[in-house]
Amino acid sequence: MSQQPIQLPLPGFEAARVRWQGEYDQQIGAENTRRNRSGVEIQPLYSPADWSGGRYLESLGFPGQVPMTRGIYPSMHRGRSWSQRQLIGLGTPEDYNERLKRILDAGGSAVSLIPCNSVYRGFDADQVDALLLGTCGAVVNSVDDMDTCFDGVDIATLSTAMNDPLPFTLLALLLAVAKRRGVPWSKVTGTSNQSDYISHFVANHMFFRIALPGSRRILVDHIDFAARHLPGWNPVSVVGQHMQQAGATPAEAMGLTLSTAVQYAQDCIARGMDPDTFLPRFTFFFDISISFFEEIAKLRAGRRIWCKLVRERFGARDPRAWRFKFHGQTSGVDLTRQQPLNNISRVTAQAMAGIFGGLQSLHTDAHDEVLSVPTEGAARIAVSTQNILREEAHLTDVIDPLGGSYYVEKLTDDMEEEIRAVMDRIEDAGGMYRAVESGTVQSMIGASALAFQEKVESGEQTIVGVNAYRGEDDLSMRAALSRPRPEVMQAQLERLARYKRGRSMDTVNAGLGDLARSAGSEQDNIYEKVVDAAIAGATHGEIVATLREEMGCGEPLVQV
């Protein structure tokens, strides 16, 4: 809620302010109101009249202390830098393994696995047109494929962000590999990065595999399974990125994401889980646009809202539950194809906003990411950007350096108000699940997308190189496409065929049969059966097909 600025008894303040205003108006003349993407009005200047810090403990607090506006840990990036988790995924499991090893050699320990679009759609490689295989991510269908991905790598020392939506077959395959290698599951660390089926239903249809009611159940089963068997794994990542990329304003994206988290928490509580067991494992994933200050304020406001929410609404007592942990990715939507080197500047600004916003983990897009999977050179620059910001610009020497800025604090308050308004709308619609089922959320986002498009069309929002400052494209920067050669994919298909032939079909069918039955039984944990089926040798496509058969295929709500 808005903080009322304290009326300062400073003598001369008001007179000086009025004088400035007069001189400003004289110099500027008439001007239009400026608003940021979320609709908040932005003044040319902020002063103690807007925010004066009188309620420091209540509205800001120290890092690691309620309400955590300034950061979730006492030392933040000074103690431990954000993890640089670069996305990788291309071609075959061997290709993935090669890139993975290079990242690990360069000192990384946190990785992602981005599967091929065919995997996202729930298919094995032999179910889609071969032209589409491996162009945007790695083709991983079987436990052998997963084993190859991590060949020669100790999975117990790695943190993996598995970019695989519900029903999380890739994690199941990884657990099968761990079993094979004798690595205890307690050592398997990482995050189910794409567990947010609601955001997929709304804004990333490719990821939405199982119909809503089935998804709702499987997510809770997954959280429950992780609570019991995977102490190092975060089963929930609530994703604001998809909705913001689909056109939601930053305030909407945060409000909708928090509403989704509330929905998932309620579903877990309805299952009988104690908030202190599952809330500490909730993580978030945000798009960071180039609206610099707006993003910083959005993230700080989110932190504050979440902290209050989990304490007041869910009664969480474990401080780990109060911490708003999030990963940020610089927004690809702001990048342009024209004059692509400009994207390096854009990503730098976006990354800075994320750092000042206090993220825990950051992915910086490569400048050619807008065309296809990034080239190695571009990916290196993206990583260097983070290193430069941290070590040359010293951005992390001070925790929450913009704290106390009149503008940033006032904007954080304003953004909180906008975010809460969105959350109230969702509450009125009966909660996030009902709101997306009925299309309320989709309409909201569609309207914002259209509004932004109008601004770009009219020139009100400049995009350098596109609607202003146009010039010759940098010919030398036409990105070389890195696509798998047909022979390589053909070999992968053959390998899949051999794998399928070489297993015990009795074991596989028994596993899939159990999985199918669990869908119809309230008592079973479906995710447990997913993992069992993976261990029994079933492929990704087979597991997804079984669940689709029982629970319905995920169809997005397509509105015109």
Partner 1 sequence: MRRAAGTGVSHAISPDNLLEALVNGDARALARAISNVERHTDAGRSTLLAIQPHLGRARVVGVTGVPGGGKSTLISRYVRELRRVNKRVGVIAIDPSSPFSGGALLGDRIRMAEHATDEGVFVRSLASRGQAGGLAPTATHIIDLMDAAGWDRIVVETVGTGQGEIDIADAVDVRVVVCATGLGDDVQALKAGILEIADVLVVNKADLPGSTTMVNQLEAMLALRAQEARDVDVCKTTATTGEGVAALAKTIENRLSTGESRKLRSQLRMRRLLAAAAGNLLTRRLCDLDEQWLIEICESLQHGEADLESAADRVLRSGRVSSDD
Partner 2 sequence: MTVKRHEPPRVLVTKLGLDGHDRGSRLVAAFLRDAGMEVIYTNPWQEIAAVVQLALQEDVDVIGISSLATDHLLVPKLTRALSEAGLGHVRVVVGGIVPDEDERMLLEAGVSRVFHPGSSRDEIIMEVDGLARHARREGSDDRNGDSDGG
Nearer to partner 2, 30 or 131 (CB): 131
By CB under 8 A, tell whether 30 contacts partner 1: no
Provide the mask over 432-451, with x wherever binding to partner 1 is found by CB under 8 A and - wherever it is not: ------x-------------
| Partner whose binding site includes residue 516, from partner 1, partner 2, none (CB under 5 to 8 Å by kind) | none
Residue 492, C-beta contacts closer than 8 angstroms, at least 6 positions apart: 92, 93, 125, 133, 134, 139
* CA 317/CA 475 separation, integer angstroms: 58
For partner 1, which residue of 28, 131, 475, 560 counts as binding (CB under 8 A)?
560
| Partner whose binding site includes residue 453, from partner 1, partner 2, none (CB under 5 to 8 Å by kind) | partner 2
Shortest Å, Cβ 302 to partner 1: 32
Total residues interacting with partner 1, rule: CB under 8 A: 4
By CB under 8 A, tell whether 558 contacts partner 1: yes
Nearer to partner 1, 15 or 558 (CB): 558
Angle at 253 between CA 249 and CA 254, to 5 degrees: 120
Shortest Å, Cβ 498 to partner 2: 25
Q: Are 317 and 357 in contact (CB under 8 A)?
A: no
- For 344, the token pair is 């390096």
Residue 292, C-beta contacts closer than 8 angstroms, at least 6 positions apart: 349, 350, 352, 353
Q: Which DSSP string do the residues of 435-493 spell out, in sequence order?
A: HHHTTHHHHHHHHHHHHHHHHHHHTSS--BTTTBS-----GGG-PPP----HHHHHHHH
Alpha helices in 239-393 (DSSP H): 241-245, 250-270, 275-278, 292-312, 319-322, 342-356, 376-391
Shortest Å, Cβ 309 to partner 1: 29
Nearer to partner 1, 333 or 557 (CB): 557
* CA 312/CA 306 separation, integer angstroms: 10
Nearer to partner 1, 255 or 554 (CB): 554
Which residues are bridge partners to 547 per DSSP?
none
Place of tokens 């947010």: 196
Shortest Å, Cβ 559 to partner 1: 8
Shortest Å, Cβ 127 to partner 2: 11
Shortest Å, Cβ 546 to partner 1: 19
By CB under 8 A, tell whether 1 contacts partner 1: no
| Partner whose binding site includes residue 104, from partner 2, partner 1, none (CB under 5 to 8 Å by kind) | none
Shortest Å, Cβ 558 to partner 1: 5
Shortest Å, Cβ 194 to partner 1: 25
Nearer to partner 1, 4 or 438 (CB): 438
Nearer to partner 1, 215 or 350 (CB): 215
| Partner whose binding site includes residue 130, from partner 2, partner 1, none (CB under 5 to 8 Å by kind) | none
| Partner whose binding site includes residue 237, from partner 1, partner 2, none (CB under 5 to 8 Å by kind) | none
Q: What is the dihedral of CA 29, 33, 37, 43, to 10 degrees?
A: 70
| Partner whose binding site includes residue 466, from partner 2, partner 1, none (CB under 5 to 8 Å by kind) | partner 2
Cα–Cα distances in Å, from 321 out to 23, 96, 176, 306, 499? 50, 34, 30, 9, 43
Contacts to partner 2 by CB under 8 A: 117-118, 120-121, 128-129, 131-132, 135-136, 204-208, 245-247, 336-338, 370-372, 446, 449-450, 453, 457, 463, 466-467, 478-479, 481, 483, 555-556, 558, 560
Shortest Å, Cβ 2 to partner 1: 33
Nearest by Cα to 244 from 22, 79, 38 = 38
Spell out the SS3 assignment of 259-271. Answer: HHHHHHHHHHHHC
Quick check: helix, strand or coil at residue 391?
helix
Nearer to partner 2, 277 or 336 (CB): 336
Site for partner 1 in 380-419 (CB under 8 A): none
Which residues are bridge partners to 464 per DSSP?
468
Shortest Å, Cβ 247 to partner 2: 6
Residue 312, C-beta contacts closer than 8 angstroms, at least 6 positions apart: none
- For 454, the token pair is 């109008």
| Partner whose binding site includes residue 446, from partner 2, partner 1, none (CB under 5 to 8 Å by kind) | partner 2
| Partner whose binding site includes residue 337, from partner 2, partner 1, none (CB under 5 to 8 Å by kind) | partner 2
Question: Candidates 252-260, 304-312, 440-448, 552-560 — which segment interacts with partner 1 by CB under 8 A?
Answer: 552-560
| Partner whose binding site includes residue 129, from partner 1, partner 2, none (CB under 5 to 8 Å by kind) | partner 2
Nearer to partner 2, 160 or 492 (CB): 492
Nearer to partner 1, 440 or 482 (CB): 440
* CA 286/CA 333 separation, integer angstroms: 13
- For 442, the token pair is 């989709």
Q: Are 239 and 363 in contact (CB under 8 A)?
A: no
Which residues are bridge partners to 328 per DSSP?
286, 362
Shortest Å, Cβ 560 to partner 1: 4
- For 320, the token pair is 């780990």
Residue 526, C-beta contacts closer than 8 angstroms, at least 6 positions apart: 167, 217, 218, 221, 515, 518, 519, 547
Nearer to partner 2, 405 or 467 (CB): 467
Residue 173, C-beta contacts closer than 8 angstroms, at least 6 positions apart: 140, 142, 143, 145, 146, 534, 540
Shortest Å, Cβ 554 to partner 1: 13
Binding site for partner 1 (CB under 8 A): 438, 558-560
